Amino acid sequence: MARGPIGIIANPASGKDIRRLVAHASVFDNQEKVNIIRRTVLGAVAAGCDEFLYLHDGHALVLNAIDGLDADATFTEVETPGTASALDSERAAARMREAGAAVIVTLGGDGTNRAVARGWEDAPLVAISTGTNNVFPRMVEGTVAGAAAGLVASGKLALADAARQCKLVRVEVEGERDDLALIDAVLLDEPFVGARAIWTTRVLRTMVLTRADPAAVGMSAVGGLLHTLTDADDGGLVVQVGPGGGTVVAPIAPGLFEPVPIAEVRSLAWGERVEVAGPGILALDGERERRLLRGQRAWLRVERSGPWVVDVARTMRLAACRGLFRFEAGGVDDAN
């Protein structure tokens, strides 16, 4: 019945960038991430999974979490380059795929999940938000998220019942390797990567969104307050920032509402390419990532080829309907 182990990728660097200074983002300390991992593991074990793979990050979040934890399970480290960067998450995801992981639990923000998707594009994910202004991962209790992951990993629920495949932005950069974003790819009129996060509107130029969510914070909100687009909807949204079409006031970071001049908003069909050109920086999922030299082009398009994301609430409702946590009197011991 077992489908495979659960992978755990926790990003120790999420929730600590400059948006705590320039906006009002919360600090996500690593001890809390350790606690969430503990609860996730215990939830997964309760749901019937006893095998875990993990990324050993420089902060030893998982090792700290399982140290002394009363859980009857095995934990295996996957090999990574140990760069203490997003590359570790990317490689860990690829290793977990090779090792037959049934699902990966991520702790981080949009950027963390983007790194995972770079390593395993259509990975089955339970994405727990521990980042700044996240659209992709959800604020969800680790206990329950772990249980949902455990139901999928143990084969009690089919992935297709628990999860749905997400969209992504395919990023082709002239003369360089391709890239992707899960929520937003934005051209910035900015020469430097600097402190990475986007926190000023002055530099925004062209954004391509897979989701335009008026209830989000960040680039997705800019689009969402103009034209709502969910992950379930077809295609994407293009927003050209500039004069000519009025202004939208949107929360670009926690607590930071800023006016953004809008030149154009339009829907983007599946596969339709949006061309942007340097000089500038391509920000992917909220972080300044790729530098475009003067005249260097990049093409952005939206596809439905991203991760399969487990809907934790729906999964637990299904589990309840099917009585997966319900046992006859005296039958609990047999269940495990």
* Residues at the interface with other proteins (CB under 8 A): 12-13, 16-18, 20-22, 27, 29-31, 58-60, 190-196, 293
Q: Closest distance between other proteins and the C-beta of residue 165, in Å?
A: 33
76, HSE (Cβ side, Cα atoms, 13 Å): 15
- Return the structure tokens found at 109: 């923000």
Q: Closest distance between other proteins and the C-beta of residue 86, in Å?
A: 12
The single-letter DSSP state of residue 167 is P
Which ranges constitute the DSSP H helices of the chain?
19-22, 30-46, 61-66, 86-98, 110-119, 142-153, 159-162, 219-224, 312-321, 332-335
Whether cis (ω within 30° of 0) applies to the bond prior to 279 is yes
Ramachandran region, residue 42 (left: φ > 0; alpha: ψ -120 to 50; beta: rest):
alpha
Q: Closest distance between other proteins and the C-beta of residue 277, in Å?
A: 17
Nearer to other proteins, 61 or 274 (CB): 61
Length of the chain as a residue count: 336
Nearer to other proteins, 191 or 271 (CB): 191
Output phi, psi for 227, to 5 deg: -160, 115
Nearer to other proteins, 196 or 205 (CB): 196
Q: Closest distance between other proteins and the C-beta of residue 71, in Å?
A: 21
Nearer to other proteins, 51 or 57 (CB): 57
Nearer to other proteins, 162 or 281 (CB): 281
Nearer to other proteins, 2 or 60 (CB): 60
What is the torsional sign of CA 36, 15, 86, 303? positive
Q: Closest distance between other proteins and the C-beta of residue 23, in Å?
A: 10
Q: Closest distance between other proteins and the C-beta of residue 16, in Å?
A: 4
42, HSE (Cβ side, Cα atoms, 13 Å): 14
Nearer to other proteins, 194 or 246 (CB): 194
How far is residue 68's CA from residue 70's CA, in Å, rounded to a whole number? 6
Strand ranges, E, within the chain: 6-10, 51-55, 74-78, 103-108, 124-129, 163-165, 168-173, 179-181, 184-188, 204-209, 236-241, 247-253, 256-268, 274-277, 280-284, 287-292, 297-303, 308-310
Instruction: Say if residues 44 and 36 touch (Cβ distance below 8 Å).
Output: no
Nearer to other proteins, 15 or 306 (CB): 15
Q: Closest distance between other proteins and the C-beta of residue 203, in Å?
A: 8
Q: Closest distance between other proteins and the C-beta of residue 40, in Å?
A: 20
